[in-house]
């Protein structure tokens, strides 16, 4: 089975808009997670900060995982 690469211009406007919107969400979540990781003390991060930094590169799972489970909540 052979697959042809499709050019950006071959995509429908709806598909192009979807790709742009999802890319923006991914960039925002990565930026927010990286900024939070940088400013948060190590004692308030579940696990080593260095490993979470590496996890942020695994898109889109890493940033979402850090924001969901990588941070200790106040009083926890």
Tokens of 54: 């590496």
In this structure, what token pair is assigned to residue 30? 């990565």
Neighbours of 23 (CB within 10 A): 12
How confident is the model over 29-48, as pLDDT tens digits? 999 999 999 999 999 999 99
Domain limits of the chain? 12-70
Question: What would the pLDDT profile of 8-26 be if each residue is shown by its tens digit?
Answer: 999 999 999 999 999 999 9
**To the nearest whole number, what is the mean pLDDT of the chain?**
92
Q: What is the pLDDT of residue 1?
A: 57
Question: What pLDDT is stored for residue 73 in this prediction?
Answer: 81
Q: What is the 3-state secondary structure (H, E, C) of 16-48?
A: HHHHHHHHHHHHHHHHHHHHHHHHCCHHHECCC
Calculate mean pLDDT across residues 68-74. 89
């Amino acid at each position: 089975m052979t697959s042809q690469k499709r050019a950006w211009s071959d995509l429908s406007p709806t598909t192009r808009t979807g790709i742009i919107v999802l890319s923006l969400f991914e960039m925002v979540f990565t930026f927010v997670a990286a900024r939070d990781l940088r400013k948060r003390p190590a004692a308030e991060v579940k696990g080593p900060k260095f490993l979470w930094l590496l996890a942020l590169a695994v898109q889109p799972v890493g940033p979402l995982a850090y924001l969901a489970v990588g941070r200790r909540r106040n009083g926890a």
